[in-house]
A = this chain, B = another copy of it.
Amino acid sequence: MTDRRIYIGTSVTAPNDEVAAQNRRAFEERNLLAVNVMSSPGSGKTTLIEAMAGVLRDRMAVIVGDVQTRRDAERIEATGCPVHQIETGGACHLDARRVAVAMKQLDLPSLDCRIVVIENVGNLVCPASFDLGEHMKAALLSPPEGDDKVLKYPALFTRITALIITKLDLLPHMEFDVERVVRECASLNDDFETFKLSARTGEGVGEFCEFLLANQSALTA
């Protein structure tokens, strides 16, 4: 019988945090800004990344996590953007170790990009607790999901730097109070920017890309 001891008092995410710090240093050595993109399934993470590829072109690389299937990776590959898929095989979030492996596979030194987008598993709960080595977390929320989600999933909205309201083109068709979402996020978090965009029409996507590029410049200043 194997005997394993758990020493109470050590954070369960401590080993993850060490690898995350290594990832962050590796990104910075290449002057790369990493953004961890999180949302419910179907909020439009992959569609946003497709639209960003049209703006950022070879300045962006993507690491994409999915529980199962290569569907998202294939969509992003079709844009011509360098992409590496992490299939979590049941796990409900990415962790720093999986991202470290993906970074090697992407072969960052060979790329001439500025931004690495990490598309997390579709889930508003678990991904929020894991540092992947990113410089900022972004959360997507779309009108069909409802304007009551910020306070229901506070762990995520407390930690984000970018609040992205997606599917803006659906706003006329449903009841969704953007101001309520922003106000409730501000009640948890005093340091985030709000972006309103439609990845389908392209409206607002450029502004988010500019924000990332400005943060990448600040990194190297």
A residues with a Cβ closer than 8 A to B are 1-8, 40-42, 66-69, 71, 90, 92, 121-126, 142, 144-146, 148-149, 151-155, 167, 170, 173
CB distance from A45 to the nearest CB of B (A): 11
A6: chain B residues within 8 A (beta carbon):
2, 4, 6
CB distance from A128 to the nearest CB of B (A): 9
| B7 near A145: Cβ-Cβ < 8 Å | no
CB distance from A48 to the nearest CB of B (A): 13
| B68 near A144: Cβ-Cβ < 8 Å | no
Partner of A125, one of B3, B4, B123: B123
List the number of copies, as a whole number.
2
A71: chain B residues within 8 A (beta carbon):
148, 151-152
CB distance from A176 to the nearest CB of B (A): 10
A91's nearest neighbour on chain B, judged by CB, is B125
Using A71-B152, A173-B173 as known contacts, say yes or no to A144 and B7 having CB atoms under 8 A apart.
no
- Alpha-carbon separation in the docked complex, A151 to B41 (Å): 12
A170: chain B residues within 8 A (beta carbon):
144, 173
Using A3-B5, A69-B152, A144-B167 as known contacts, say yes or no to A126 and B92 having CB atoms under 8 A apart.
yes
| A153 near B41: Cβ-Cβ < 8 Å | yes
- Alpha-carbon separation in the docked complex, A5 to B4 (Å): 6
| B121 near A123: Cβ-Cβ < 8 Å | no
Subset of 29 A-B contacts with CB under 8 Å = A1-B7, A1-B8, A2-B6, A2-B7, A2-B8, A4-B6, A4-B8, A5-B5, A6-B6, A40-B40, A40-B122, A41-B124, A41-B152, A41-B153, A42-B146, A67-B152, A67-B154, A68-B153, A68-B154, A69-B151, A69-B152, A71-B148, A90-B125, A121-B125, A122-B124, A123-B123, A123-B125, A126-B126, A144-B145
